[in-house]
Amino acid sequence: MPHDPYKALYLHVPFCVKRCGYCDFATSAVPADSSEIDAYVEDLSLQIRRKAKEGELGALETVYVGGGTPSHIGLARLSMLLYTLSLSMHLTPEVECTMEANPESLTERMVRDVWALGVNRLSIGVQSFDDDVLATLGRAHDADAARRAVAAAQTRFENVSVDLMCGIPGQSATSFEAGVREAVALGAAHVSVYPLTIEEHTPFYRAVLEGKLSEPDDDVEAEHMEIAARVLAGAGYERYEVASYARPGFQCRHNIAYWTGVPYLGLGRSAATMTQNAERRMRVQDGQVTDDLDARGMAAEDLMLGMRMTRGVSDEQVARATALLPDAPAVLDELAGEGLVAHEDARWCPTERGWLCGNDLYGALFDLAP
């Protein structure tokens, strides 16, 4: 269908040194020297060139190379991928270009070379600075490797993000707070905090069923998220979306694109693409349509996605949505009465309770267009 230009590009690298027990992403554990990776990178590079010829890469403002573990595939393959990208689009310093990396495979040489090839933001999957917690998660690195990876990243990159996890069985509040404080002390420009979720068909799910692993506790998760908010706010970070905090000027523009209805192109195994125009929004994954929304559905989804961000949605956006969704003001008033949103400075914003009860908040807004 005729569509608005894509503003964000996601490239999926679905390989890791090992699969963590909680992971349900489209990834596989493959040796770094596997020919499977070579074939995949060649195909992904071909997809990039094809989309460039079709004129789909001319308006990109953000690029995200995620996984999986992009750093696992090695510098030669990353160089091929990034060089292809630089030949296929205007990969200028104004384009936010993020690459994910894990501590066990990020080296100073890799940092130097991907920076030279146009990457300007690194996101490091630290998850914890506590070796016992890392062992529970089954990570391939220890705390010292995480510290070295952050230090290596900072030899070239000012914009370094650290991912942390909370609500992990056996993880104390003291341990989690120490990890958040260490991320701050190391100088991370951006910190994301994700609660552990137990997904079906994962080793962690089976371990819970067999009584070998405790289920994550909602109260512990809430306590940890409150610790993160307190410590990071005190250190000058702004919480700009439900799971992410940034120093001024270091918000992840690619993250924001997902929550603000920006069309995005996904290339690689299981990467999702969102295509839209004024009347229709479609998401496609592996050739299958996963969402097909009309204008009413788009308006409801935009209200819902806006609540993923601290700034919420403006009165103007609500007024536009109300033209298609007459019940929107009443639903927002009801959510405010339940303490899930607040209205201030001409904006409807999520509360901390709203984020903790996200299913209720997001569901009420999305259901405006059943």
Listed as ranges, residues in the chain with pLDDT below 50 are none
In this prediction, residue 26 carries a pLDDT of 87
Is residue 24 within 8 Å of 201, Cβ to Cβ? yes
pTM: 0.96
Residues 298, 161: Cα–Cα separation, whole Å: 31
Query: Distance between CA 321 and CA 70 in Å, rounded?
Result: 39
The residue among 110, 111, 226 whose CA lies nearest residue 159 is 111
CB atoms closer than 10 angstroms to residue 294: 12
Q: How far is CA 322 from CA 257, 319, 325, in A?
A: 23, 5, 4
Token match 């924001």: residue?
256
Alpha-helix runs per DSSP H in the chain: 35-53, 75-88, 108-116, 131-137, 143-153, 173-185, 203-209, 218-234, 253-259, 295-306, 315-322, 328-337, 352-356, 358-366
Residue 299 near residue 366 (C-beta atoms within 8 A): no
Sheet holding 8-13, edge to edge: 238-241, 244-246, 190-195, 160-166, 121-127, 96-101, 62-67, 8-13, 264-267, 272-276, 280-285, 288-294
Domain ranges of the chain: 8-257, 307-366
The answer to whether the CB of 145 falls within 8 A of the CB of 121 is: no
Cβ pair 188, 160 in contact under 8 A:
yes
pLDDT at site 1: 83
Peptide bond before 68: cis, by omega within 30 degrees of 0? yes
pLDDT tens-digit series, residues 227-260? 999 999 999 999 999 999 999 999 999 999 999 9
Q: What is the Cα–Cα distance from 310 to 320, expressed in whole angstroms? A: 20
The β-bridge partners of 160 are: 122
Residue 86 phi, psi dihedral angles, 5° rounding: -65, -30
**What rounded mean pLDDT belongs to the chain?**
97
β-bridge partners, 10: 64, 266
The whole-number pLDDT of residue 157 equals 98
Q: What is the architecture, at CATH level 2, of domain 8-257? A: Alpha-Beta Barrel (3.20)
What is the DSSP secondary structure assignment for residue 284, as one 8-state letter? E
Token pair 């596997």: residue = 34
